[in-house]
Structure 1
Amino acid sequence: MGYLKAKRLIDIVFSFLALIILSPVFLILIIAIKVDSKGPVLFKQKRVGIHKRHFNILKFRTMRIDTPKDCPTHLLENPDQWITKVGKFLRKTSLDELPQIWNIFVGQMSIIGPRPALWNQYDLIDERDKYGANDIRPGLTGWAQINGRDELPIEVKAKLDGEYVKKMGFKMDIKCFFGTIVSVLKHDGVVEGGTGKMQKDEVASTKETISG
């Protein structure tokens, strides 16, 4: 419990500083999104938070506003046609995730933790229950993210989330943080329109669904 309090303090301090330092980046991306396509800058999506409470995760919009509603990216025919030019860049660099810094600041998420599941991703939620991974704040990135990301099947992803819960501590969070930087730079484990080579028919937990 001691580390959880320290972890929350770290989240507050670093997310606050990030919001200030990255404000010019936010402004540039907001302008780019508005110039590139019609529609809102942000989109909200219902996700599963700590103790399975629902919250709205924030992302920069990467898809056209005429994308079929309530349809996961991997179920769309030719998903690339729905992604905007700026959206492709945002997804490739993971910059579409930046608004989640606000989710972290207000306590809905943590910097490090299991990626929040979609509200209807019942298989992943049930698997995480086995490991207590639903009882901590979900993260911007985590142990599963640097060990396969979209390529992981549900069972393996949940098991890795469980390993994080078991080993959670400052050393583990540092390992996840720097591992994420390496993964983003190498573009590891990202498979557009699905969960990748290992399990293409599973619902992608980190891809955008247009909900109006």
Structure 2
Amino acid sequence: MSNLAKNGSLNSPTGKLLIEDIKTGIIYNLSKRTLDIIGSIFGLLVLSALLIIISLLIKIEDPKGPILFSQKRIGKNGREFKMFKFRSMVTDAEEKLTELLKYNEVDGAMFKMKDDPRVTKVGRFIRKTSIDELPQLFNVLKGDMSLVGPRPPLPREVKEYTKYDLQRLLVTPGCTGLWQISGRSSIGFNEMVQLDLYYIQNRTILFDLKIIFKTFKLILGSKDAF
């Protein structure tokens, strides 16, 4: 069991119960990794034309900026990795974040702003349809992420985590999960943590497949994506 899991056996300061153990069965882990590899390769092949078109559109709108955006995220057991996305913001988006924090529209250790002025025209479309997330299939192939799991947080967000919140890091983070199919940006941080912990305690391959199927149904024009 990881150090995070050991710490999770204690009661949290908020009085919420913490996870005492998580599923680590060999069959489940092998099945999940197999699903990740097959799913990511299949996705990259099927969506290759779309990936090329989006890359061209991003470059046409902002020729000087990169097509892909990589960002440090926190994965399983607190390990840092670089997560890939299509760039949906202006090139100096990170520098402009500090002055926008006061406009945060969600509670807790997370930043969301519906009319974020840093988002480009192409960016608004690929965010609304979640196309900006597709390069994370490369992260899945590498093993940094899974197709399904809690969203990987930013280092600055993890610094604000309670012991209860840290349980999100007990498993490999995912491209999609219960948060995304349950309301995404309309759901606050505390509710997101509760959904993630429910998933961690109840995850199965069948559960993963249901989440993936629901994600496909929502991916085209989710009103909650921003």
User: Which bracket does the TM-score occupy, shorter chain normalised?
Assistant: 0.7 to 0.9
Query: In structure 1, what is the equivalent of residue 17 of structure 2?
Result: none
Following TM superposition, the consecutive aligned residue runs of length 4 or more in structure 1 with deviations greater than 3 angstroms are: 76-81, 123-128
Instruction: Note the C-alpha offset of 1:184.
Output: 2.6
**C-alpha distance in structure 2 between counterparts of 1:73 and 1:60, whole Å:** 23
The answer on 1:30 being equivalent to 2:55 is yes
Give me the whole-angstrom Cα distance separating, in 1, the residues matched to 2:169 and 2:79.
9
Comparing 37-46 with 68-77, which one deviates more in the overlay? 68-77
Q: CA deviation at 1:186?
A: 5.1
Equivalents in 2 of 1:26, 1:142: separation in Å? Answer: 22
Determine which of 103, 121, 125 is the counterpart of 1:89.
125
Please name the residue that 2:67 is paired with: 41
The letter for the 1-side match of 2:36 is: D
Shift of 1:147: 1.5
Structure 2: runs of 5+ lacking an equivalent: 1-24, 104-112
Does the residue aligned with 1:56 lie in a helix, a strand or coil? strand
Instruction: Work out the CA distance in 2 between the residues paired with 1:27 and 1:4.
Output: 33
1:40 shift after superposition: 0.4
Q: 1:125 to 1:12 in 2, by over 3 A?
A: farther
Distance 1:62 1:186, change over 3 A: closer
Residue 153 (structure 1) aligned with residue 188 (structure 2): yes
1:120 Cα deviation from its structure 2 partner? 1.4
Letter in structure 2 aligned against 1:99 = P
The aligned amino acid for 1:41 is I
Distance 1:188 1:171, change over 3 A: farther
In structure 2, the residue corresponding to 1:81 is in which secondary structure? coil
* TM-score in terms of structure 1 length: 0.80
Larger Rg: 2
Greater shift, 112-121 or 100-109, is seen at 112-121
Partner of 1:201: none
Shift of 1:154: 2.0
Q: Distance in 1 between matches of 2:99 and 2:46?
A: 32
Name the structure 1 match of 2:32: 7
The Cα shift of 1:145 comes to 1.5
Unaligned runs of 5+ in 1: 193-212
How many residues are treated as equivalent by the alignment? 189
Contact 1:124 1:158 in 2 (8 A): no
Which residue in the other structure is 1:128 paired with?
A: 165
Contact 1:128–1:161, Cα closer than 8 Å, also in 2: no
Partner of residue 153 from structure 2, selected from 101, 112, 117: 117
Instruction: Please tell me whether the aligned partners of residues 31 and 205 of structure 2 are also in contact (alpha carbons under 8 angstroms).
Output: no
Q: CA RMSD in A?
A: 2.3
Counting only pairs closer than 5 Å after superposition, residues 10-21 of structure 1 correspond to structure 2 as 10-21=35-46
Cα shift at 1:102: 0.1
1:117–1:124 Cα contact (<8 Å) kept: no
CA contact (8 A) 2:129 2:221 kept: no
Deviation at 1:66, TM superposition (A): 4.0
TM-superposed deviation, 1:118: 1.0
Question: 3-state SS of the aligned residue for 1:144?
Answer: helix
